Structure 1
């Protein structure tokens, strides 16, 4: 069998597989959270967030940072017992925002929030 024939069979099977996957996964909420950052952010966003009175006015900013921010694992302490602490930073309205949270089994608590122009 020549290379062109093998390539044709491969591409034909590959395209049929893509069509089958598109048919089965159409309209479903499927995500591929394989990296550590994505897994931690997904875990944090799946729990209720507890704000103290100081941070309640900035809750929308904090939610945005918790969804699309970057976790700095060198400043975080994820293995702390009973709840891990995470340092998350991101941009909001041209400000660098940092949030420190405590991630427990059933709730997330905001410990610190800073905006730097």
Structure 2
């Protein structure tokens, strides 16, 4: 079977998928044996992801504000965006705690898993806000 798939790839009949985005925990894998450094790495990634999310939200707010001006505030786009973002933040926090609670590991490892989740979801939300 492997030979068949490889032959298809060589022929170009099967699209080659790109590597999936690295999980934040993998981005900090160089610190696998140093918990303090790993936590520092994850904290730095979390801070950067939060900054990117704030910038994307602000860009979306500006777009919503312009829409409100164009429509005479008929659709309350800015208020709707802010409500959606607040709801999304509550979802992110609850979802990441849920994911962490599924693991029977130490508290510090669970906290790292929650950070990993928050970074991933913040990055995805920032991309989503910039797309729409």
- Bigger proportion of residues as strand: 1
TM-score interval, normalised by the smaller of the two chains: under 0.3
Relative CO higher for 1 or 2, CA cutoff 8 Å, sep ≥ 6?
2
Q: Return the TM-score normalized by structure 1.
A: 0.25
- Bigger proportion of residues as helix: 2
Q: Return the TM-score normalized by structure 2.
A: 0.23
- Higher gyration radius (CA): 1
